[in-house]
């Protein structure tokens, strides 16, 4: 079943929850939330994290690795999954992450008619540990144009 397992976590932002539900349906698999609202900053975490304002979630999806999910959404599925009218960050924290472990992160930055998703990779390579360079910004304009494919080295 393609459902969202909140795993006992609270996510205050309803749009973030809607996107997670869309994502589970899009991939046809159960999505497990591993972190939602936070009141403290974990080791390696950001003091301005959207988790602190209830607008972020960390998660995994059964049967799919983080890179597959990231590349599918980045290259193809963003406009089918993300609710338009908002700006988001979508971060793939890899095995060299400076956070507490590899995971995917979704955060809603703001409400804005000019919506987009910033796809960001951190810690995919040892050199990329702790750096948050924007990989690609995909506009949420209802256009499912395939982006240039990308394979991390």
Burial of 31 (0-12, 13-18, 19+ CB in 10 A): buried
Q: According to the binding rule CB under 5 A, does residue 58 interact with Zn ion?
A: yes
Binding mask 103-132 for Zn ion (x = CB under 5 A): --x---------------------------
CB of 120 to Zn ion, least distance (A): 11
* Cβ-proximal residue to Zn ion, closest one: 105
Q: According to the binding rule CB under 5 A, does residue 86 interact with Zn ion?
A: no
Closest CA to 58 of 98, 15, 6, 97: 6
Contacts with Zn ion by CB under 5 A: the residue count is 2
Q: According to the binding rule CB under 5 A, does residue 38 interact with Zn ion?
A: no
Euclidean distance between CA atoms 60 and 92, whole angstroms = 11
- In the complex, the residues that contact Zn ion under the rule CB under 5 A are 58, 105
């Amino acid at each position: 079943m393609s459902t969202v397992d909140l795993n006992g976590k609270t996510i205050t932002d309803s749009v973030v929850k809607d996107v997670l539900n869309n994502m589970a349906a899009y991939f046809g698999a159960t999505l497990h939330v591993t972190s939602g609202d936070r009141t403290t900053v974990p080791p390696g975490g950001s003091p301005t994290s959207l988790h602190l304002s209830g607008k972020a979630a960390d998660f995994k999806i059964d049967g799919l690795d983080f890179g597959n999910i990231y590349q599918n959404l980045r290259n193809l599925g963003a406009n089918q999954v993300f609710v338009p009218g908002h700006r988001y960050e979508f971060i793939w924290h890899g095995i060299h992450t400076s956070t507490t472990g590899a995971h995917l992160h979704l955060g809603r930055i703001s409400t804005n008619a000019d919506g987009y998703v910033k796809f960001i990779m951190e810690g995919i390579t040892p050199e990329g540990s702790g750096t948050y360079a924007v990989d690609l910004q995909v506009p949420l304009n209802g256009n499912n144009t395939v982006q240039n494919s990308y394979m991390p080295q």
